Amino acid sequence: MTKRIAWLALAAAVAGCGEYRPKLYPATGQLFVDGKAAPGAVVSLHPVDGKDFDRRGARPTARVREDGTFTLSTYTTGDGTPPGEYRVCVTWFDSVENPEKAQDRLGLKYARETDSTIVVRIGPESNELEPIRIEAPPKKK
């Protein structure tokens, strides 16, 4: 009996050690810059209310594929997004090979949640977002 109680206590302790993770729902979308797919761009979602949904401040993110599509992930690849209303941020760096010299092709115009005017809602179901269409700033001469 003592062994059984010890095992139950251990199981309860281990189960209680896990970090809270909200329920996630699949979310996919498309990103176009100046009417064209933006392969390699990174899309991230930030809660409109500013509240974190877990202790580590996770943010749903996705890397845009060659055809402009993306699948949002919060903890593991393709796991989805908690429901809620989010501001969308986008960065699209010109050099992955040399990050120190990389420049955001969008001039950081969409990089900060405080500047973003793009808002999406994730519902408690599978979500296909409306295509996100943005414009790159004019190139500096």
pLDDT at 74: 97
**pLDDT above 90 for 36:** yes
Domains and CATH numbers, the chain: 21-134 (2.60.40.10)
**pLDDT above 90 for 71:** yes
Cα separation of 96 and 6, whole Å?
Answer: 52
pLDDT at 95: 75
Cα separation of 18 and 2, whole Å?
Answer: 26
pTM of the model: 0.82
Give me 111's structure tokens.
Answer: 């990089």
